[in-house]
Structure 1
Amino acid sequence: MSKKNRKTSPSILSLTVPAALLVALGVTLSAKLGLFDPVGPVSGLVIQGPETVIIEPRQMRYRAEGHFLKRGLAVDAPLVDAALAAPFAITKYQVSRGEYRRCVEDGACQAPEAGGGGEDVPVTGVNHSDAESYARWLTAQTGEVWRLPTDEQWAFAAGSKFPDDALGIDAESDNPALRWLADYERESSRQKSPDPHPQPRGTFGENEYGVADVGGNVWEWTRTCHRRVTIGDRGEVLKEQPACGIYVVDGKHRASMSFFVREPKSGGCAVGVPPDNLGFRLVRDDRWYARMLYAYERRRAGAV
């Protein structure tokens, strides 16, 4: 009986040796691909990252992003249930002029196109590419991986200040003009900003999670692509067309901007009334494989 057991039961050695070989192979390939290369400076002083707020896991219902159509007519985006599985860190404040200026001085960022005020005023007049350049620069300076937030991450961080852009008027109502009129009135009211000039950090207060200036007069770039979605009578998605040259910007209301636009009032707003100003804040990628993923993405981008 004991002989039979010895023949059929795998030994610890027979299990651990193949696993160790696989791990060694993975490490070797990762090293050859440069996935273990440091994301920060090889030498020199590493600066401390910006102040962050931790957004803890929870569930949330919010209005989906996109331009939704049913039977060829615009409709409100559906409410979707989202679950945040793991906490993430987001900068408490929007990136300031002073912080961004250091990136410009290092030659890693383009100078902003507009905006004034002191060092603690959010940087504005920056496009999506500028924001990504700053994220790469900050990653190199801190050794931590920084990214633009997704629209969903921004919604979780905004909490009760996340806007609901629904009109609440069914496109199939007896009078379709009601929706057009409601949309016109809403867009007209959004153009009446009492003071569009960027204000110092903290002017618009903090939300329930400690994130500052959510819903102020600086809209924030995300890395979520705008999309056009056709749905059926039961709300099922029939067709989805992402447009990844256009990105969602979040603020007092959602808008979608072409990636190259720095001054929203000059044009380039794909959907909705243009924001007053374009700025951004960042999230820190604390996933255990964040550095390897970042190194892989950078190598792939460099190969294109």
Structure 2
Amino acid sequence: MHSLIQNRPAASNASLVIPTALIAVIGVALGLQSGLFHRPAPTVTVPMTLSIEPRAFEYRPAGEFYKNGFAVDAPKAEVVRAHTLSITKFQITTAEYDACVADGACPVRESATESTDNLPVTGVSHDDATAYANWLSEKSGAVWTLPTDEDLAFAAGSKFPDDALGVDPDSKNPALRWLADYRREAERKASRDPAPQALGHFGEGEYGLADFGGNIWEWTTTCNRRVLLQETAQEVEGASDCGIYIASGKHRAPLSSFIRDPKGGGCSVGTPPDNVGFRLVRDDRWFARLFFAFR
């Protein structure tokens, strides 16, 4: 009897492993049969991509952080990226986006810039950018998504801004925070020429990413968060608002997903971006197309 009882957990585990393995095999078989694991020839022009090799880097997460009832800087931490990131070298252009519009898959953009391969698209919302990513995924055979804020920090390197105020997080004097915030906002002056510029106008970072931090902020999939910190700077509680996304550029700007013109409203705090556009990352994981097909 004792030996039978001892064997029950093993039998129970086996009963879980076998159906899971069977589901995996069926999923792979369906994927092979339907061509999900075979990338078809693209029927559209695919944006130029960079491969950012794995490395460790310092990253200060986006969001609103509070400690002891006071707003504080987000804690910076070392992040180790173990996989290569495939990201478009340039922001998506007006011509690339307008091809999606012509195909009936994307809304018409609001900006009046010409349709060309040499100008980044602006006047598009987070929803518009997501529609383009889905359309490009269908047409190219690869899976494309908007990057996270962390992805952009990883790819932009030293061009990615550190938006910390540098105020002692243990200070109980709110005036220090107000003064530091005032100085930062005073430095965030609007561009002398906010009009979108030709690709490459703002140069490249050390990893080859072009035009980041120019006069176009870039949509990400990172939701704006409100985070409470412990004394040890560990998170106690966090709440995300996924109707508001982080647009990254010269500084981070939380914007509602439907905003196309950031100057017309929608930036929750601080100086609004000059323009908002986007670039994409390519998901090269072997199961990416399977997830995309059944999302």
Partner of 2:180: 182
Instruction: Map residues 219-234 of structure 1 onto 2, 5 A cutoff.
Output: 219-234=217-232
Partner of 1:266: 264
Indicate conservation of the 8 Å contact 2:40/2:140, yes or no: no
Amino acid corresponding to residue 54 of structure 1 in structure 2: S
Amino acid corresponding to residue 185 of structure 1 in structure 2: R
Unaligned runs of 5+ in 2: 1-16
Indicate conservation of the 8 Å contact 1:257/1:271, yes or no: no
Cα 1:168–1:252, aligned 2, differ >3 Å: closer, same or farther?
same
Indicate conservation of the 8 Å contact 1:124/1:278, yes or no: yes
Indicate conservation of the 8 Å contact 2:146/2:279, yes or no: yes
Structure 1 position 284, deviation (Å): 0.4
Residues of 2 paired with 1:291 and 1:64: CA distance?
Answer: 29
- Indicate the SS of the match to 1:177: helix
- Indicate the SS of the match to 1:270: coil
Identity of matched residues, %? 53
Structure 1 position 274, deviation (Å): 1.5
- Indicate the SS of the match to 1:185: helix
Structure 1 position 48, deviation (Å): 4.3
Structure with bigger gyration radius: 1
Instruction: Map residues 41-190 of structure 1 onto 2, 5 A cutoff.
Output: 46-117=43-114, 119=116, 120-173=118-171, 175-190=173-188
Deviations 1:177-218 (A, max 9, x none): 122022022113313322111101000011111110011110
Q: How many residues get paired?
A: 278
Indicate conservation of the 8 Å contact 2:219/2:247, yes or no: yes
Amino acid corresponding to residue 78 of structure 2 in structure 1: D
Indicate conservation of the 8 Å contact 1:38/1:143, yes or no: no
- Indicate the SS of the match to 1:64: coil
Residues of 1 paired with 2:34 and 2:93: CA distance?
Answer: 29
Structure 1 position 29, deviation (Å): 5.0
> Does 77-86 or 46-55 show the bigger shift?
46-55
Structure 1 position 233, deviation (Å): 1.8
Cα 1:215–1:21, aligned 2, differ >3 Å: closer, same or farther?
same
Indicate conservation of the 8 Å contact 1:93/1:281, yes or no: yes
Residues of 2 paired with 1:281 and 1:255: CA distance?
Answer: 16
Partner of 1:202: 200
Residues of 1 paired with 2:41 and 2:172: CA distance?
Answer: 68
Partner of 2:291: 293
Cα 1:21–1:262, aligned 2, differ >3 Å: closer, same or farther?
closer
Residues of 2 paired with 1:262 and 1:36: CA distance?
Answer: 41
Residues of 1 paired with 2:172 and 2:71: CA distance?
Answer: 15
Residues of 1 paired with 2:215 and 2:36: CA distance?
Answer: 33
Cα 1:22–1:231, aligned 2, differ >3 Å: closer, same or farther?
closer
Structure 1 position 113, deviation (Å): 1.2
- Indicate the SS of the match to 1:54: strand
Structure 1 position 114, deviation (Å): 1.8
- Indicate the SS of the match to 2:106: coil
Deviations 1:35-66 (A, max 9, x none): 974579x9996234211000100001121211
Structure 1 position 125, deviation (Å): 0.6
Residues of 1 paired with 2:29 and 2:40: CA distance?
Answer: 20
Deviations 1:217-265 (A, max 9, x none): 1000011111000112221211101111111111011111110111101
Indicate conservation of the 8 Å contact 1:148/1:281, yes or no: yes
Cα 1:22–1:74, aligned 2, differ >3 Å: closer, same or farther?
closer
Unaligned runs of 5+ in 1: 1-18, 298-304
TM-score (norm 2): 0.87
Residues of 1 paired with 2:165 and 2:23: CA distance?
Answer: 56
TM-score (norm 1): 0.84
> Does 20-29 or 201-210 show the bigger shift?
20-29
Residues of 1 paired with 2:136 and 2:88: CA distance?
Answer: 12
Amino acid corresponding to residue 284 of structure 2 in structure 1: D
